[in-house]
Chain A
Amino acid sequence: MKRVFKILLLVSAIPLFAFLVQADLSGDEVLAKVDQVLESQATIMNATMTTSDVKGNQKFSKMIIYTKKSANGKDRVLIEYLAPAADKGVKFLSLGDVNQIWMYLPKVEKTVRIAGSMIKQSMMNSDFSYEDLLDRSNYSDSYSAKIIGRETMADAKCYLLELTAKKGNANYRQIKLWVREDNYIPVKEEFYSGSGSVIKIATQSQLETMSGRIVPTKITFQDLAQKGHQTTLEINQITFNANIPEQYFNMRYLEKGK
């Protein structure tokens, strides 16, 4: 996969009953299953983000994340920071396109369009980039997959998929994705640069039932360029197919919160 957020939804979209193991699936078919369980028209998630450095210093952020598909199938995202005090009220709005992202700064009551180059930068000093959290396109849209092995990961039998970018503008050139055979929930991802080296690692754990689905409530993300640094996203509450008003994804709501 690519972004944590996606993983989240992915995972979360899994019904309580497990899928039957289909040993003869191709890589693309497994990836389609992953996308299927990800499917959700609208999701509300309360999460706590913890970043920690090599010295053990930790920072906490609390946020609420709204996602909803537009009429043309684009995934729109609204993120609002609830804590810490210095960031409270900061909001990000993505309309499903890297050129359609804005940030609202409550101190100066101003909305700023984010330059495209920021999309790959660290978001609020975490291991997530803006792209990781705001770009929610399906895996199958951006990557082709082949099964390159089967491994046991986190006490579960997993497919090991190698995802290769179909288009040049995919977030990562290549991804290795470990997917549980029983429910198609991703367990681990390794993200590769164009030169073939691992640049980020994500792991998903602590499966719980929330809003009627199995959800990995803990996602750990490591940007290997920041030695000893990692970010953990813990889901406190999640609601699938939530009734999110359309107005949440416009400039008015970004600036006024209503």
Chain B
Amino acid sequence: MTGPDSFRSLFFEEAEDLLGTLSDEVARLKGGDRDSEIVHSIFRAVHSIKGGAGAFALDRLVGFAHRFETVLDAVRSDQLPLTAELLRIVERSVDHLSVLVEAARNDRDTDTTLTDAAVAVLNGCLDAIGQDKAPADVLQPEAAPAFTFTPLALNLDPIEVEPTRTVTIRFRPYPGLYDNGHEPTLLIAHLAELGTLQTELDLSALPDWSSPDITEPAFAWVIRMATNAKREAIEEIFEFVAGLCDLSIEEEHDIPAMPDLPSPSPMSQDESTPATAPFVMTETTPASATDGLGPRPTLRVDLDRIERLFNAVGELIINQSMIAQRVDDLQMHHDTDMSSHVESYRLLARDIQEAVMAIRAQPVKPLFQRMSRIVREAAEGTGKQAQLVMLGESTEVDKTVVERLADPLTHMVRNSVDHGLESPERRLAAGKDPVGTIWLSAAHRSGSVIITIRDDGAGLDREKVLRVAVTKGLVPAGTELSEAEIDNLIFQPGFSTASATSLLSGRGVGLDVVRTAVQALGGRVNITSRPGKGTEFTITLPLTLAVLDGMLISVGGTSMIVPIAAVLETIRPLPGDVEQIGPDERLLSIRGRYVPIIDLAETLGFPRAEADDPAMLLLLVETEARGTCALLVDRVHDQRQVVIKGLEGNYGQVTGVSAATVLGDGQIALILDPDGIAAQSHPIPSQTSGQRVAALP
């Protein structure tokens, strides 16, 4: 692990952080903040990158960083006024710096002409002060109210100046709040003094009235507040009930709403899933608290160590459920010490699990920041004007998910600029701002991560989409499709609307690649579009790749897990719904369609439990190989979260099985891979499947 290689990778890791800082600081400058510390911070970051790059003889990077640094130095010593034009140059230079760092990291060469051009621009700035040192220069007369860098800049609080914004407050009192004599209505009345409220009472925690012991307070409130008040002022109201309630204060940035779109911004749907609301709160509160506070102290840890901890916690969870099951089996009296200890053990185990998962979790911010560069590049390449608005970038997602999302997201963002947004002329003609906007947002919702990419462009041209699909033979001519079905055609392999192929996204990679990549992460992607208003892509991903929502079934006396994501429905068909085709193939007739029935026991080579049970139990699953299939199973038990255990470590891959898990009784259950099953049940003549079947006793 040590040696030049590890130092090198350390440098790139640090460079990545520094580039993140650079984007942040430039964004602050663009937002109008003129604190002189920002320029210093930018200078330091560029300087650090230059220093590190020098140690690894990355000459081009050093050369460029040096030039950039010189310009920044001139800015911080007040020789160069920070005009809008210069700010743009700084922004471009940061972009170029990231390109160079990335190229150096992958040992790739970059286009020297680009670097030369970028250096030339920087030189241009320096020439300007070389020739005449007067602050009003040729570069940009527009920003002439020249800036002097007083350390006590007055414009320190841009939030204050902003127009009214919406703050969403979620408030769920604990029993202690009432015990201490606090009164929620008084708190809400206080809030009302700060702005206009829209209060919603959340009764979801209300127990059944027949339940004998109502001891827990069941009320919670969701308060939407239009206000100018500072966050601190709102927090102050809740100061005395801190720790006595779940409280989250979310500030919604001032986004022009797209009222016609059916799916509103992710956050506003949270109340539909109150069960997970506390989880969402714990996520958002510390996250928003860190905003603007700069980087927190961090510790770099070897991934292997975390992996080990992760495995141990998986064990702990399984062990806990085993113990709980045992204690349950003992049928002890309910209020013995034992059961309360078991309950605390359960809570503790979940806490540890969440904490460990949080270690692997990373904010999507660096990923999103990269996208702002993509938007700029894409806009430049297509002659469009675009800005990127990021929301919820402190949302945390599993590290692997963040890494593997980079490519699909890049593709989709490019796509949004290239195909989504119209040209400035057309936008003006349609009465829109010539600068198109792409919104990129991330949020947690009921155990999933939702990432949306939305544009305010023209929306999908459904006629054209359908026409292209027909031309490409994806759908037969004359097919009647619903709007949503047409929209989803763009995810079909081989589909590309690039009638006028553009350099950018029309490079043969379709959105089907995006869909495949997202599905590989256990997620799904959807599209909604409104003509003239824009298009929104929604990516839904699991929070982690280490646990899975599964359905426990049994087949041939063996318990197995089917991933919930693959299951469409469970069916007990009537005898007339099953048709025999050929000697051993059966079809299920469902809502006018025929789907093949796959006998799971037979496909897996397990003994059949009961000979032709008339009451068949079928699991409808979606597979890539054969479309919708019906899996014949013996029993469906329940749904549960399982910890995924790989089979590859000690054994090898098994067709039709993706992994395994340990059940509460310590038994191992295999996690089925419906795709593998479907492919296997219809064996495509291949050497392996042939041999395996032949080897059966």
- Do A and B associate with each other? no
Q: Which residues of A contact B (CB under 8 A)?
A: none
Chain B residues within 8 Å of A, Cβ to Cβ: none
